[in-house]
Structure 1
Amino acid sequence: MAAPVTARLNQDAEAALQEREKANILVVDDLQEKHVVFRTILDELGENIVSARSGKEALRYILEKEFAVILLDVNMPDIDGLETASLIRHYKKSAQTPIVFITAYVDELQAKRGYALGAVDYIPSPVVPEVLRSKVRVFVELYRMNRQLQVRAAEREALARSEAARTAAEEAIHRADYLSEVSQQLSRSLDLEHTSRALLDLAVPMLGERAVLVITDGEGGILRSQASSGEGLDGLAPSLQETVAQVLQDRQFQLSQDGGLAAAVFPLASGERVRGALVLLGRREKFDGARVALAREVASRASIAMENARLYSAVQEADRRKNEFLAMLAHELRNPLAPIRNAVHIMQGADVAAPTMHWARDVISRQADHMARLIDDLLDVSRIVQGKVVVKPETMSLVSLIERSVEATMPKLEARTQELALELPEEAVVLDGDSVRLAQVLSNLINNASKFSPIDSRILLRAAWEDGTVRITIKDEGSGIDPAFMPHIFDLFAQADQSLDRSQGGLGIGLTLVKHLVELHGGSVEARSEGPGQGTEVAVTLPGRLAGPDVAPSHVAPSLPPAQPPAPSRILVVDDLMASAETLMTLLEMEGFEVKVANEGVAALRIAEDFRPDVVLLDIGLPGMNGFEVAHKLRNQPASRDALLIALTGYGEAESRTRSAEAGFDFHMVKPADVNLLLSMIANPEEARRARAA
C-alpha cells in the first residue's frame, strides 16, 4: 500500500515542478500589433512569451535562451523569415527547435523551402486563436516531455557513473585490503619456507585457481618447486614448463595457454638475479589487465619478502659459522698454551736436568711456532678479504716451486711416516707468479692431505702441462669429504667436522686462502671426493708455458749469511710491553750485546743521545708518540742517524710496512720475529742492508 502512495506523491511533485517551470515561446514579427495579438492568444497557456521585432533580434535571443517553439513571420523587412530560419538552424542550440511559419499567403515553392529549413507547420494569417493556441500547446508539451527525458537520461547517466565509481572504489578498497594482507603475511616471518607457503595461500583463489612457486639458486638452476595443491613444476604441461624456463631466463612476465588452462608466470627478481617465479593457473578470461596488474604487485612484494628471508638465512648462517670459528679459534690458541705453561712450570723446578731443560725449550719453541702460523693465517685471510694482498710475479720453474713446497712440508710428513710420491712432466715448464704465495698454496694442500690421512699412508702430487696451463693435483688416502659439504669446502671458516671432539685442528681458513691466492694468479682450484673414507683430490690450475732458451733461471731470494759471533754492539730496545722488552734484553745480553731499554718515545730519544746505539729495535704501537714519529726523530739526531732501525711490531699489513719505510726504518719485522734472522741482522748491520738492497 505504501509503494503506490509514494509513487503518486512523486508524480504530484513532478507535476508541480513542471508547472513552476515556464517554457519560452519566441514570437518573431516586425509589426507591434501582431505581438499584442499573439500575447493575448497565448497568455492563457501560462508560458513565457518572448517578442522579437526582427531576425537579428531573434538570433540574439536564441543565443541567450532555449525555446519550446518559434513563431516566425515570413515577410520581414531586413531578414525575412526563411533566411532567419536558415540562420537559426545553424546554431546547435536551436537546430531541433520547432519553427512555425505565420504568413498571409504561401505558395507551393515557398512551402517546400520552408519545410526544407525545418519548419514544422504553416499557420495562415490572420490566425485562428484556438488553432494557434492548441498547436503551440502541443509543441510546449513535446518540449516538456523532451526535457523530462533529458533529465531522466542525465539522472540515469549520473546514477551509472555513481555506481561505477562506487564499484571502482569498492574494488580499490578490496585491492588495498588484499595487498595489506599480503604485506602482513609475507613479512610475518623471515623463514623462507613460511614465506613461500604464505604466498601460495594468498594467491589462491584471489589471483588464480591454482598456484605454483618455483625457487632458483640465483644462477638459473631450479632448487625446488611447490604448489598450492597437487604437484609442483613437474605437474605442469611441457609447454608451460618451457614458459617458466623462459621467464626465469628473460625476467619478463608471460601469459601462456595449454588447452583450456592458462598460466600467468611472474618472475621473482632481486637486483640482477631471478630468485624464482610465481605461476598462476586458471581460465584465460580470469587474467584480465586488472588481475595481472594486481598479481604483478603481489609478485613484487613477494620478491622483497623472499629476498629478506634469504638474506636473513645467510646472516644466520654466517653468524653460526662465526661463532663456531671463534670457539675453534679459542680452542686452537689454548691448545699450544697448555704445553707452553707446563714446560715453563717444569723449567722453574729445582735441579732440572739438562735433557729435560732442552726438551722443555723445544716444546715451547714448537708451540710458539704453531701459534705464530695460526696468527699469520688469520692476518693473511683478513688482508685477502679486504683486497690488500698483492702478488709479486716472477718467472720460476715448476720443478723449483714443487721442491720448495715439498721442503716446507717434509718434517710433518716424516713425523707421520707418510710417503709423498711425485709425478712431474718431462717438459721444462715455467710459471709467472709469486713464488712465496704459490709455495704457500701447495704447502697448505700437502699439509691438509697429511693431516687428514692416516699414518703410513701415501700422498700423490702430480703435475702436468697442457695447452698453456699447469695442473697440479694432490691426492690422499684420507678421510674424504661428505658430498653435502663439498659446495662449502672453500668457504671461510667452513669445516666438515664441527664436533667438540674433532680429531684434527685448524680454523677452517686454509682452503679459503688457497682459493684466493690461486685466483690472484689467474688460476682456479677444485676439490673432488668420492665420499667419507674415500680420500680427497684437490687440483690447482695455473697459467704456464714451456721453458725456452730465453727464460731466465728461477729466481732465488737472497739469503743472509749464517750469524757470526757478534761483535760488541750497543742495542736500544723500545717497547711499552715490559715482558717483551725484558725477554728481548735478556736474549741479546746472553749473545754478548750491550742493551738499554725504553718504554716510551721520549725516553728512547733521551737514551739514544747518550747511548749512541748501533741498532734500535723499535715497537710501533707506543703510548703518546708512536714508533713512526720516534723513528723519524732518531734519524734526525746525530747520535742515532746511522743506527740500524728495525720495526719490531704486531702490525704487519702493507700500510704499516709502507709507513715504516717512509719513517726511516731499515726493516719491518712482525712479532714474534724469527730470532735467528734477527740475531744475524744485528750481528752485521751493513751486510743486512746490502742483502735487503739486493
Structure 2
Amino acid sequence: MAMPLTGLLESDANAPQERANILIVDDLPEKLLVFETILADLGQNLVIVRSGSEALREVLRREFAVILMDVNMPGIDGLETARLIRGYRRSAHTPIIFVTAYADELQTSQGYSLGAVDYILSPVIPDVLRSKVRVFVDLYNMQQRLRQQALERIAIARAEAAQRAAEEGTRRSIFLAQAGRELADSLDADVGMRRLLALLVPRFAPRALLWLRDTGRGHERVLRCEAPALEGEAPLYFEGRDDVLSEVLYGSTRDTLEALTGSGARPDEESPSRLTLPRRDTGHGVVLPLITGERVLGGLLLCDPHRPPDWPTLEELANRAAIALENARLYGALQAEIVERRQAEANLLEASRRKDEFLAMLSHELRNPLAPIRNAVEVMRQVGAGADPRLTQAVSVTDRQVKHLTRLVDELLDVARISQGKIVLKTETVDLRDLVTQGLEPVQPLMAAQQQTLMVKMPDGPVWIRGDGARLIQVVTNLLHNAAKYTGPQGRIELSLEINEQGIDLRVRDNGRGIEPELLPHVFDLFEQGPRGLDRNQGGLGVGLTLVQRLVQLHQGTVAARSEGPAQGSEFHVHLPPQLVEEDHAAVPLPVAGTTASSGWAEGHSAQPARDCRVLVVDDNRDAADSMAVFLELAGFETGVELDGPDAIRRCTAERPRVVLLDIGLPGLDGYEVARRIRSLPEMNDALLIALTGYGQLDDRRRAHEAGFDVHLVKPADPDAVVELIEEWRQRDQRDQREGLPDGGVAAVSS
C-alpha cells in the first residue's frame, strides 16, 4: 500500500499542481527510509510502496515523473513490474531507474529493453541519486508546461473558431428566421414558392429554379427566377443526393427539364449528374431536395458559376421550405376534409333523424297488428272457453306468442330510446324483494313448460333502494328469461339477492348451455347471440341483455357475465352501488303484476250484465276497432265504432258517448286534433278520453295530455285492463254525481 512521507506529502486534492509524483518501489524498509531522506529535499510528492503489485495499483491511479525501483523483490520482481508498467498507456514512457546491489550484462540489457533509463548500484550516493531524479522531474515539469501551452493555444483557436461559427450562425439564424417568417406567412403553395425563389436569387445564385411535384392535381409545376441571362454553352455540374438528382433531372418530362435548366439543355451521356446548358463558362450547380418524411416534394436547382454552395444554410432553407409547402398542402387537404366532415355530420344528423322517425313508425306499425290480435284472443277466450279443448289450447298458444312478440317490440324500442337518451328513470323508494318477485311471474310459464327448477334466495327483511321499479323488474325478468331460454328441460336456475357494505348483488345462475369464450366479451352487445341451430328454438332478437346492461348503467350499477364454457352453465351478476340503498324511508307500494281484472274476465263464459255506459272506439284499423268493440260488448258496455276523425266528432255530437277510445295515428285529422275538438264540445267536456296508440315515447305522452286525453295506453293494450279502467272511472263518476260534484274525471294515466 502507498506510504506518503509525513509532513512532506499531502493529499492529491490539496497538493500544489507544480509538484511532480515520484514512485519509490523496494521491499526493504531501511532502504525506503534512505530513499525518502535523500529525495525529501526535492520538494516533490514521494509515493512509497513495498511490492510490484502495489506499484501497479499506484501507476493506475496517478501519473509519475520518474519511478525508482529495486530489481530484486519477492513476488513480482523489478524487471517484470517494469514490463507491466510499460503495458499501460499512461506509463508507457515514464522513466524507470533500477536500483540493485549488482548488475551483470544480461540483467542490464534486459532492463534497458524494458524501458529503463539508468541503473544505480547500492549503496547509493545521495548526491548522484538526487541529481538524476531531479533531471527527470525537471524534464517532466517542462513537458507539463509545454502541454499546458499547447492546450491553451488549442483552446484559443477553438474559441476563435467558435466565435466565427457563432457569428456565422447568428447571420444564418437571422436569415433563416426571416426566411421562415416569409415562408410561413402564407398557406398558399404558389405564394410560398415565389417567396422561396426571391430569397435565393441573387443571394446564393444568379439563377434558381424550383420544381414541385403536385400529385394532388396530377401535373408538375415549375417556377424560375434568374439574374440577367448568360450566353454561350458550357457544361454545368450538379451536386446532391443521387436519388434526388435522378428524380429531378431525369424523372421529369423533356418540357419540364428545359423549363428547369433553360432551352437547349441536354443530358450528358457520360455523367448522370451533368447537363449541357447555354453558358459561357463551366459553372457549378446544386440540387437540393424538398423532402418531408420519405417523400420527395420536388427540388431546388441553383446555378452559380462563382461561389461554392453554403450547404448548411441551403439545406436548412430547403427543409423549412419543404415544411412550409407541406403545411400548405395539408392546409388545403384539411379544408377539404373539414368540408367533407361537415357534410358527413349533416348526413349523420339526417340519418339519425330518419332513424328516430323510423323507430317511431316501427312502434306504431308493429303494435297496430298486435292490438286486434290480442283483442280477438280475449274474445275467443270468453266466447269459446270450455267448448273445445283444442280451441282453448289454440287460444293459449296465440296469447303466449302475442305477449312474446309484444315483449320483443318493447325491448327493441327501449334500447333505441336509451341510446337516444330519451328514457328518464322515475326513482322512488321500493323494496327490491318485491321487484324480484314481480320479475319472476312473467317467466314462470316458460320455466313450467320446460319443467325447470327455480331456486330463490333473498334476505328475510326488506331491501329498500332508490330506483325505477318498473325498469328494475325488466332487469330481473330479462335475466331469468335469458337463463330459461338457454337452459334445457329439467334444468336448474338459481336467483340470489344479497345486501352488504359494497352495495346490492343480484345473481342469476343456470346449468344450461353456457357461453363460448369468444362470445363472452360481446354478450351484452346489441343483436349479439350465440350460435343457434336451424330450429332456432331459442328465438329472440339479441337485445334482452343489452337492455339489462343499459338499465343497470342508468342506476349507476354494473352487470357482468361469467361462464366456464359450453355446457358449463352461466352466471350474470348485477351490482348496484351502496348509495342507492335506503335505511329510513317512506316506501311507495308498487302494484303487483297480475292483479288486474284480466283473470276474472278470462274465466267468464258469457257476456257480463249490461253497464250504463256508452263507449265509442275510433281506429282506422277496422280489425283493431271491431275486436275491441266486441270485447267491450261482452263486458256489458254499449259500443260504437268509427274509422276516422270527422265521423267520430259527428257521432260524439249526436250520441254523447261517456268513453272514447281514440287512436292517435288516424288519416287526415290525427287523434290529437280530434281530441281537442271533442273536448271543445260542451256535451263531451266530462267524458273519459283514452289514447290508444302505437306511439309510446315521452313526447307522445306529453302531447296526448296537452290535447285533452285522460289516459295514454300503448298498443297492444290489455282489453281486461281497459275494461277495469273504464269501470273504475264509471263508478267514480256515479259516486261524484251522487255527491253533487261537477264530474268524475280521472287523473292522466300512462300505461
Q: TM-score under structure 2 normalisation?
A: 0.47
The match for 2:413 among 379, 383, 392 is 379
- Asked if 1:526 corresponds to 2:570, the answer is no
Distance in 2, matches of 1:294 and 1:526, equals 53
The structural deviation recorded for 1:509 is: 1.0
User: Which residue type is aligned with residue 572 of structure 1?
Assistant: L
The match for 1:451 among 470, 485, 508 is 485
Match of 1:493 in 2: 527
Match of 2:695 in 1: 651
Note the alpha carbon deviations across 1:169-190, whole angstroms, 9 max, x for none.
Answer: 24xx25x559989xxxxxxxxx
3-state DSSP class of the match of 1:408? helix
3-state DSSP class of the match of 1:527? strand
Note the alpha carbon deviations across 1:435-476, whole angstroms, 9 max, x for none.
Answer: 110010111011101100111111122223333521212122
- Asked if 1:403 corresponds to 2:437, the answer is yes
Contact 1:478 1:535 in 2 (8 A): yes
- Asked if 1:609 corresponds to 2:653, the answer is yes
Residues 269-280 of structure 1 mapped to structure 2, 5 A cutoff: none
The structural deviation recorded for 1:510 is: 0.9
Match of 1:509 in 2: 543
User: Which residue type is aligned with residue 668 of structure 1?
Assistant: H
Residues 524-673 of structure 1 mapped to structure 2, 5 A cutoff: 524-544=558-578, 550-557=584-591, 567-673=611-717
Distance 1:485 1:664, change over 3 A: same
The structural deviation recorded for 1:481 is: 1.9
Q: Which has the higher contact order (CA 8 A, sep 6+)?
A: 2
- Asked if 1:472 corresponds to 2:506, the answer is yes
Match of 1:195 in 2: none
Match of 1:260 in 2: none
Distance in 1, matches of 2:525 and 2:634, equals 47
Match of 1:484 in 2: 518
Distance 1:592 1:503, change over 3 A: closer
Note the alpha carbon deviations across 1:352-388, whole angstroms, 9 max, x for none.
Answer: 9622222222222222222222222222222222211
The match for 2:723 among 666, 671, 679 is 679
Contact 1:613 1:639 in 2 (8 A): no
The structural deviation recorded for 1:390 is: 1.3
Note the alpha carbon deviations across 1:57-83, whole angstroms, 9 max, x for none.
Answer: xxxxxxxxxxxxxxxxxxxxxxxxxxx
Distance in 2, matches of 1:580 and 1:425, equals 45
Contact 1:179 1:298 in 2 (8 A): no
User: Which residue type is aligned with residue 725 of structure 2?
Assistant: M
Distance in 1, matches of 2:533 and 2:390, equals 35
Distance in 2, matches of 1:606 and 1:297, equals 72
The structural deviation recorded for 1:648 is: 1.2
Distance 1:295 1:636, change over 3 A: closer
The structural deviation recorded for 1:572 is: 0.9
Q: Report the count of equivalent residues.
A: 410
User: Which residue type is aligned with residue 469 of structure 1?
Assistant: G
Identity percentage of aligned residues: 43
Residues 46-65 of structure 1 mapped to structure 2, 5 A cutoff: none
User: Which residue type is aligned with residue 626 of structure 1?
Assistant: D
- Asked if 1:358 corresponds to 2:402, the answer is no
3-state DSSP class of the match of 1:161? coil
Distance in 1, matches of 2:590 and 2:479, equals 23
Distance in 2, matches of 1:506 and 1:411, equals 17
Residues 247-396 of structure 1 mapped to structure 2, 5 A cutoff: 354-396=388-430
Contact 1:526 1:539 in 2 (8 A): yes
Contact 2:687 2:745 in 1 (8 A): no
3-state DSSP class of the match of 2:684? coil
Distance in 2, matches of 1:679 and 1:418, equals 35
Note the alpha carbon deviations across 1:10-46, whole angstroms, 9 max, x for none.
Answer: xxxxxxxxxxxxxxxxxxxxxxxxxxxxxxxxxxxxx
Contact 2:506 2:575 in 1 (8 A): yes
The match for 1:416 among 450, 474, 477 is 450
Contact 1:617 1:647 in 2 (8 A): yes
Distance in 2, matches of 1:476 and 1:391, equals 30
The structural deviation recorded for 1:588 is: 2.1
The structural deviation recorded for 1:297 is: 10
Distance in 2, matches of 1:180 and 1:515, equals 53
User: Which residue type is aligned with residue 677 of structure 1?
Assistant: A
Note the alpha carbon deviations across 1:125-147, whole angstroms, 9 max, x for none.
Answer: xxxxxxxxxxxxxxxxxxxxxxx
3-state DSSP class of the match of 1:417? coil
Q: TM-score under structure 1 normalisation?
A: 0.51
Contact 2:493 2:508 in 1 (8 A): yes
- Asked if 1:430 corresponds to 2:455, the answer is no
Note the alpha carbon deviations across 1:494-517, whole angstroms, 9 max, x for none.
Answer: 223266543310011111111111
Contact 1:459 1:475 in 2 (8 A): yes
Match of 1:138 in 2: none
Distance in 1, matches of 2:456 and 2:704, equals 42
Match of 2:50 in 1: none
Residues 88-103 of structure 1 mapped to structure 2, 5 A cutoff: none
Contact 2:549 2:559 in 1 (8 A): yes
3-state DSSP class of the match of 1:376? helix
3-state DSSP class of the match of 2:561? strand
3-state DSSP class of the match of 1:362? helix
Note the alpha carbon deviations across 1:581-622, whole angstroms, 9 max, x for none.
Answer: 222222222333222221111111111122121211111111
Note the alpha carbon deviations across 1:320-343, whole angstroms, 9 max, x for none.
Answer: xx9xxx9xx9xxx9xx99xx99x9
Contact 2:467 2:580 in 1 (8 A): no
Structure 1 portions without partners, runs of 5+: 1-155, 182-204, 207-263, 266-284
3-state DSSP class of the match of 2:641? strand
Distance in 1, matches of 2:320 and 2:484, equals 66
User: Which residue type is aligned with residue 632 of structure 1?
Assistant: R
Distance 1:601 1:527, change over 3 A: same
Note the alpha carbon deviations across 1:303-326, whole angstroms, 9 max, x for none.
Answer: x99x99xx9xxx9xx9xxx9xxx9
Distance in 2, matches of 1:427 and 1:354, equals 47
User: Which residue type is aligned with residue 563 of structure 2?
Assistant: S
Distance 1:519 1:549, change over 3 A: closer
Distance in 1, matches of 2:581 and 2:421, equals 32
Contact 1:431 1:544 in 2 (8 A): no
Contact 1:529 1:535 in 2 (8 A): yes
Distance in 2, matches of 1:542 and 1:363, equals 37
Contact 2:613 2:730 in 1 (8 A): no
Structure 2 portions without partners, runs of 5+: 1-199, 220-242, 245-292, 295-315, 602-607, 733-743
Residues 77-156 of structure 1 mapped to structure 2, 5 A cutoff: none
User: Which residue type is aligned with residue 720 of structure 2?
Assistant: N
